[in-house]
């Protein structure tokens, strides 16, 4: 995945004694050096676009250790990545929807016969999904 390229690109980046303890802390530490975290949170993208964005930030001078980059990508993937429920693979569905494997299996099985129409269709058809979480991420969930 492109994370490897990003990690290799910063192998000589800034060193810290210990990386931030959480993905969010890493994102705040590195990203807010140039802009607010609100800009990040207001700009959901698919994971490939996030890789490109992070690489662009590194090219512009952002400093991060390989460990920090890994945590940042985890934060972006889990919190501000878009997902097309009707086409995403299992890993993406589990991560972005923060759904248990059983719920993701139910999504994949259902979409084999009939794609999901919208968030309401997903919520009423698939047990085990966190409705509050889905509601908070609704602008990132698509049904193409």
- pLDDT tens digit string along 94-137? 999 999 999 999 999 999 999 999 999 999 999 999 999 999 99
Q: What was the pLDDT predicted at 3? A: 41
Residue identified by tokens 């097309």 is: 84
The number of beta carbons lying within 10 Å of the beta carbon of residue 130 is 15
Q: Alpha-carbon distance 79 to 121, whole Å?
A: 22
Cα–Cα distance, 83 to 90 (Å, whole number): 11
What does CATH list as the number for 2-79? Answer: 1.10.760
CA 97 vs. chain centroid, Å, equals: 10
Q: Are 125 and 116 in contact (CB under 8 A)?
A: yes
Helical axes 2-9 vs 47-59, angle rounded to 10°: 10
Rg over CA atoms, the chain: 17
CATH 1.10.760 in the chain: give the residue spans. 2-79
pLDDT of residue 25: 96
Cut 0.85: pTM above it: no
pLDDT at 18 (0 to 100): 72
- Residue 4 scores a pLDDT above 80: no
Q: Please give the Cα distance from 21 to 57 (Å, whole number).
A: 22
Distance between CA 93 and CA 82 in Å, rounded? Answer: 10
Average pLDDT value for residue range 10-17: 44
Whether the Cβ atoms of residue 64 and residue 31 lie closer than 8 Å to each other: no
* Total length of the chain: 144
- pLDDT at residue number 117: 98
Question: Strand runs (DSSP E) across the chain, as ranges?
Answer: 83-84, 141-142
Calpha distance 6→48 (Å, rounded)? 12
Tell me, what's the pLDDT at 20? 81
pLDDT digit string, tens, across residues 53-77: 999 999 999 999 999 999 999 999 9
């Amino acid at each position: 995945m492109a994370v490897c390229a990003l990690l290799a690109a910063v192998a000589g980046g800034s060193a810290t004694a210990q990386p931030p303890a959480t993905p969010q802390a890493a994102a705040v530490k590195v990203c807010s050096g140039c802009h607010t975290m609100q800009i990040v949170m207001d700009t959901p993208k698919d994971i490939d676009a996030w890789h490109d964005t992070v690489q662009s930030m590194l090219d512009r001078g952002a400093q991060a250790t390989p460990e920090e980059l890994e945590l940042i990508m985890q934060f972006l993937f889990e919190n501000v990545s878009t997902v097309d429920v009707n086409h995403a693979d299992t890993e993406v569905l589990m991560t972005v929807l923060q759904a248990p494997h059983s719920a993701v299996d139910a999504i994949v099985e259902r979409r084999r016969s009939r794609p999901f129409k919208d968030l309401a269709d997903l919520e009423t058809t698939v047990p085990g999904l966190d409705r509050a979480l889905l509601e908070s991420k609704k602008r990132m969930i698509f049904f193409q």
